[in-house]
Chains A and B, each alone.
Chain A
């Protein structure tokens, strides 16, 4: 197990009228190379959980293990883990500050204390993974388009070559093309580095397309987890938590209810089309 939390609880503003327990007794785990989709409505505790995974928030109680070691064992451990678990916040483009995109991407590697040659190599690699062209690297980050800024910010985390990459709603507010570019960057990063990816998103379509395993948070606890099949099959429960299954899955469910013999694991347009065509090819009496 690469990363694991044990009985993790976090309470904000302890001892004030605003005291609020955001997560309670959470046992979360992720294996090497896994892609996990983390879903749940706003305030369900997702953001609090992910900020524990790289040691940004200290647990109120419970433990976070990385590679078997308590990440708060010592200050050095925490600091090291911060580079091994990369966290991309929501709207990460608002953290850009350097004069050029290149220097901004280099901020993380520089803080790691790498030498100039290594930093340059990392920047180049991360920019390519995030889908940024060489010309863009010399520009001011503030001159880029919305989607490009977002990718530059994500590259800034990828450049640390984290073993776990966590992204909090990386496609929020972008147009469909912008969303596609971000998602293909993330998939490319996963393919080439075999890092663990934890994707927090409200888009069930993105989850359906990308995640091996889905973890659902509700009211500060893990409400369910499992494969796409296992989780999306419980659509009534998901609805009750303010979540949906992908629209295509709902179409497939409707068709099954009407009597078509479609398989249960339909989450994308391609899967649905293939299943329906197979059914058609299966003979005229398929219904």
Chain B
């Protein structure tokens, strides 16, 4: 089954009781409307959208933390509304959040990583193995005995990723994992994520505000006001710079430059995303 996550006419509205307090949207209007999205096994999908476009809500619907108000979410064919399989769903879809401090449950690092397998009832010897494997996969094995609150932001976030890898998930959904990090931390996290995708075949859903982080994705999903407005390759999405600007988003600086040149009549393709590709494309316009 190539489809790992599938949503069918997914609609979500916060109930009055859950809303209002603590910054959750208070309007009774649906946060998500008629979302039909398929995420294929092994792919790297990036999701962008302005604040309040419903991206984070969507992430929490993927693993059944939130349940659809209308429509369905299927994970590996399992309906997230089915209580009997909810733990299986959550095991398969690991979630990593923006603030690393609020998702680390224990200290030292290795005890935190053990949290999920412990919850899953994995035998102790295997937990040890999984914890070690997970920490090695994110390059934090040497710091396994450290207290997490003394680590850097990028390191904390890698611990959080190890914490979900220890579940042996099919997919990791990361909700703005780099928003609170400096450039070093951001690079650490992104490199880790890309490696997990390429080497371990883990499906990645990366929710972000940074367009440069989407360049390598297989698919780029653009959300606005609770709907999916674009779902294509990054190249194809970034050719529509004006549309993105309308949605309160930007294109990477490389694409912005190409668009700017094209507007001034230079015959240059607008889908060169990396720095080298962009320079090549511009260079070619000179005789």
Do A and B have CB atoms closer than 8 angstroms in the complex?
yes
User: B261 contacts A175, CB within 8 Å?
Assistant: no
User: A258 contacts B183, CB within 8 Å?
Assistant: no
Distance between Cα atoms of A269 and B261 in the complex (Å): 10
In chain B, residues 8-23, which have Cβ atoms closer than 8 Å to a Cβ of chain A?
A: 23
**Interface window among A54-62, A138-146, A157-165, A190-198:** A138-146
Counting chain B CB atoms within 10 Å of each CB, the highest count among A43, A176, A243, A254 belongs to A176
Distance between Cα atoms of A214 and B204 in the complex (Å): 37
Closest to A239 in B: B183
Closest to A286 in B: B286
User: B153 contacts A176, CB within 8 Å?
Assistant: no
Closest to B153 in A: A42
User: A255 contacts B279, CB within 8 Å?
Assistant: yes
C-beta contact mask, A203-231 vs B, less than 8 Å → 1, else 0? 00100000000000000000000000000
B248 on interface, CB distance cutoff 8 Å? yes
A276 on interface, CB distance cutoff 8 Å? yes
User: A175 contacts B283, CB within 8 Å?
Assistant: no
What residues of chain A lie closer than 8 Å to B176, measured between beta carbons? Answer: 173
What residues of chain B lie closer than 8 Å to A277, measured between beta carbons? Answer: 261, 264, 266
In chain B, residues 259-286, which have Cβ atoms closer than 8 Å to a Cβ of chain A?
A: 260-261, 264, 266, 275-276, 278-279, 282-283, 285-286
A121 on interface, CB distance cutoff 8 Å? no
What residues of chain A lie closer than 8 Å to B275, measured between beta carbons? Answer: 247, 250-251, 254
B257 on interface, CB distance cutoff 8 Å? yes
A75 on interface, CB distance cutoff 8 Å? no
Counting contact residues on chain B (CB < 8 A from A), the size range is 35 or more
Q: How far is the CB of A250 from chain B (nearest CB, A)?
A: 5
User: A41 contacts B184, CB within 8 Å?
Assistant: yes
What residues of chain A lie closer than 8 Å to B237, measured between beta carbons? Answer: none
A114 on interface, CB distance cutoff 8 Å? no
| Contact partner, A205, options B98, B253, B287, Cβ 8 Å | B253
A272 on interface, CB distance cutoff 8 Å? yes
Distance between Cα atoms of A284 and B212 in the complex (Å): 33
Distance between Cα atoms of A279 and B286 in the complex (Å): 9
User: B51 contacts A269, CB within 8 Å?
Assistant: no
Given the interface contacts A41-B183, A42-B185, A277-B264, does A254 sit within 8 Å of B248 by beta carbon? no
Q: How far is the CB of B287 from chain A (nearest CB, A)?
A: 6
Distance between Cα atoms of A40 and B286 in the complex (Å): 37
Distance between Cα atoms of A147 and B261 in the complex (Å): 31
Distance between Cα atoms of A146 and B287 in the complex (Å): 49
What residues of chain B lie closer than 8 Å to A177, measured between beta carbons? Answer: 50, 248-249
What residues of chain A lie closer than 8 Å to B26, measured between beta carbons? Answer: 143
User: B279 contacts A176, CB within 8 Å?
Assistant: no
What residues of chain A lie closer than 8 Å to B287, measured between beta carbons? Answer: 284-285, 287
Q: How far is the CB of A63 from chain B (nearest CB, A)?
A: 29
User: A276 contacts B256, CB within 8 Å?
Assistant: no
What residues of chain A lie closer than 8 Å to B282, measured between beta carbons? Answer: 251, 255, 260, 276
User: A202 contacts B279, CB within 8 Å?
Assistant: no
B180 on interface, CB distance cutoff 8 Å? yes
Closest to A143 in B: B26
Task: Tell me the B residues contacting A by CB distance below 8 Å.
Answer: 23, 26, 49-52, 98, 152-153, 176, 179-185, 209, 211-212, 248-250, 252-254, 256-257, 260-261, 264, 266, 275-276, 278-279, 282-283, 285-287
Task: Tell me the A residues contacting B by CB distance below 8 Å.
Answer: 41-43, 142-143, 145-147, 172-178, 202, 205, 242-244, 246-248, 250-251, 254-255, 258, 260, 269-270, 272-273, 276-277, 279-280, 284-287
Q: List 12 A-B contacts (CB under 8 A).
A: A41-B182, A41-B184, A172-B179, A174-B209, A247-B212, A247-B253, A248-B254, A248-B257, A251-B253, A251-B278, A254-B279, A273-B264
